[in-house]
Amino acid sequence: MANIFDVLKAHKLTVITDSEGDPLIAIDCVPEENHSMPSEVTEYPVEDGAYISDFVINKNKTVTITGLVSDDPIAIVQTGLFSRTLTPLLPNVLKSKLPYSPSGKNKPSKEVFDKFEEIRDNKIMVNLITGLKQYKNMIIVQLDIPRDRTTVRSLKFTVKFAQVRFVISETVYAPAIMRRSENLNTDPAKNFGEKSSKGFKPRTGSALYNGAEFFGLL
């Protein structure tokens, strides 16, 4: 049997899953979806022959989705943005795994709102499946839910995800650092001989002079 991603891709559906791949939120209709892959390049001149990759930083990929979840998935959505919802097209393999009922019995709009809030408040990483690509390790960085008279029985939202990138750390053992006495080629200490105080001549007639003369130092 085809995996869930293949089924969703075939039906052009957008679904949010947990890290194990189990669906958390199936979006009935997505009128707008923006995939952003920003990079930053140095503003300073680059030396000719240098590796350009050293001067470019790839920032986190983001996906912004404007979507709708309806409490009446079979009904026509009375807005200018949507022609009909896609929940009836959900394959049975997906319906059975959703944490809410897409038939409208449990008010999917409220349950999806609660699920979005849970994911955001607990900083849960999720997977995002779209018709273009599957993204892993996504975090909600912005969630907007406008309400008016046209959204009484539905949930219209704009959610922005950013992808978290991971690196693998590796411990490298460096050779022991030599002690300074082993590392430096120093010359042996030189003997400058015995220092004498005879070069000092105290003033004649002073107490210091008389004492030095008494002890035979002069």
Rg of the Cα trace of the chain? 39
Across 127-131, 167-171, 197-201, least confident range? 197-201
Over the chain, what is the mean pLDDT? Answer: 75
Distance CA 160, CA 135 (A): 13
Establish if 115 belongs to a structural domain: yes
Q: Give 82's pLDDT tier (boundaries 50, 70, 90).
A: very low
In sequence order, the β-bridge partners of residue 157 are 67
| Residue 105 placed within a domain | yes
Q: What is the pLDDT, as a whole number, of residue 218?
A: 63
> Smallest Cα–Cα separation from 16: which of 87, 116, 90?
116
Q: Closest by alpha carbon to 159, among 119, 122, 132?
A: 119
Residue 174 lies in a domain: no
Is 23 inside any structural domain? yes
Whether residue 106 is predicted with pLDDT greater than 70 in this model: the reply is no
Whole-number Å distance between alpha carbons of 159 and 145: 8
- Quick check: 72 pLDDT over 70? yes
d(CA 158, CA 77): 17
Of the chain, the percentage scoring pLDDT greater than 90 comes to 32
Q: pLDDT tens digit string along 159-196?
A: 999 999 988 888 888 776 665 555 555 556 666 666 55
Residue 204 domain-assigned (yes or no): no
Q: Residue 16: which of 164, 161, 122, 166 has the closest Cα?
A: 161
pLDDT band at 93 (very low <50, low <70, confident <90, very high): very low
Between 49 and 188, the more confident residue is 49
- Do the domain assignments include residue 179? no
Q: Would you say 204 and 218 are in contact if contact means Cβ atoms under 8 Å apart? A: no
Residue 137 within a domain: yes
Which structural domain range is residue 84 located in? 4-42+49-163
CATH number of the structural domain spanning residue 128 = 2.40.30
The tally of domains found in the chain comes to: 1
